[in-house]
Amino acid sequence: MAAEYTLSQLPNRSRRTIIALGLEGSANKLGVGIVRHTLQTPLDQHQNADNTRVANTVPIQVLAEAISRQQVEVLANIRHTYITPPGQGFLPKDTAVHHRQHILPLISQALAEAQVTPADIDAICFTKGPGMGGPLVSVAMVARTLALLWNRPLVGVNHCIGHIEMGRQITGATNPVVLYVSGGNTQVIAYAQNRYRIFGEALDIAVGNCLDRFARIINLPNDPSPGYNIEQYAKRGKQLIELPYTVKGMDVSFSGILSYIQTIAKVRFGSPDRATIAGCNFVEELPTDLTPEDLCFSLQETVFAMLVEITERAMAHIGSQEVLVVGGVGCNLRLQEMMGEMARQRQAKVFATDERFCIDNGIMIAHAGALAYQTGFTTPLKDSTVTQRFRTDDVTPLAVPTSNQVRRGSTKKHVTKPYRGGSSNDHIVAKLRKLSATKRDLVVAVSK
């Protein structure tokens, strides 16, 4: 990591404001966000530690301090969710179709709500990964097209880093242990040795995946989300049954508990086949008046207890007194309550956001991308592919943390083969090209 940055390569060298457009579509949530970052003063007016004016280069500490003190404004945060019928999940190909159908109206709506034009946008940020290949490709293709049509730089963003940076911005957490919990990821993260480190994670399926799949078994609606409906069912549960509890150091496993409780649900409330019934005598030992609400309550209490345990272990390991909960499952009030009780016993603090910023959204991609762009990072067009397994610890910081732990990231070169699948986006490219043929304002054109 360089000790200083060349002033001429930084977008804030002579101006205070950066406006970024963020596109998120790694799963069934399609988000478009617009953020404005405003420095107190342009970088060429900052002073070094010896009170001399910044010249041709900017020390890392000066840049980090300037970014940490800037004003961040959410100008637009638009989201549209692909919702399937009860008992069904969302397939990548169908989700990609949803994103292609809705992304242009969402971009138009975001620009109108933010009261900006394409000429005002400084950078176009998109989710590079992790996520489902088809949806990621659909959104990345639109980002590339806009970058070419508007002549703006691209910034590829790690989905998890977007959650973390947005959570830190909203809550003011300085040096937290991060619990990142969603439908696709379960990780305990902390900042150490100049990058985000994964201290623990799910060894098989994510906690959100576990909850979603059980919701399908008991036929809960997917609107607004399976996890939310499980949370509501759990509030009415009265009996806590013992379920498999699998914690290995700072790692967890959810496939066993899911198989166990699915078997109970099928035997008690479904039409089990012989293979399901065979060898499940343990179900007969459970209370006869067990309800689906009881199962939701038991599942939620057990998996959240596992998450609290590994989070507390990470806090003890690195000596942190803060917990930041991010990701879609982080909206769950019971998880926040259990984490809060653990933190209270440790005289620590818990930070979480509401559904506007906890659930996948475009503004977190715009914010994290703008932070990287402010350090001079951009993604070349040839590298603007997506990576389905883009790990959090594959992100290399561009600026050292300051006293309040400013952390900025860019992507390093990955050994994972980029996903390039799906070639059914040609009609969007053609539409965007036609709409922007004059390279004038796309605010009106994109909505037609």
C-alpha to C-alpha distance for 431 and 146, rounded to whole angstroms: 11
Strands (E), 110-240: 123-129, 154-158, 177-181, 186-192, 195-201
Q: Please enumerate in sequence order all residues whose Cβ is within 8 A of that of 234, keeping only pairs 6 or more positions apart, or say none.
A: 293, 296, 297, 299, 300, 301, 334
Consult the annotation and say whether 183 binds a ligand. Answer: yes
Consult the annotation and say whether 163 binds a ligand. Answer: yes
Consult the annotation and say whether 270 binds a ligand. Answer: no
Consult the annotation and say whether 340 binds a ligand. Answer: no
Output the DSSP codes for 330-394: GG-HHHHHHHHHHHHHTT-EEEE--HHHHS--HHHHHHHHHHHHHTT----GGG--B-TT--GGG
Tokens in use for 192?
Answer: 């150490």
Consult the annotation and say whether 256 binds a ligand. Answer: no
Consult the annotation and say whether 253 binds a ligand. Answer: no
Consult the annotation and say whether 436 binds a ligand. Answer: no
Tokens in use for 351?
Answer: 């930070």
Consult the annotation and say whether 355 binds a ligand. Answer: no
Amino acid at 355: E
Consult the annotation and say whether 227 binds a ligand. Answer: yes
Consult the annotation and say whether 404 binds a ligand. Answer: no
Cα of first residue to Cα of last residue in the chain, in angstroms, is: 46
Amino acid at 419: Y
Consult the annotation and say whether 369 binds a ligand. Answer: no
C-alpha to C-alpha distance for 16 and 80, rounded to whole angstroms: 32
Consult the annotation and say whether 294 binds a ligand. Answer: no
In the annotated binding site for a divalent metal cation, the residues are: 159, 163, 180, 360
Q: Specify binding-site residues.
A: 159, 163, 180-184, 212, 227, 231, 332, 360
Provide the annotated binding site for substrate. Answer: 180-184, 212, 227, 231, 332
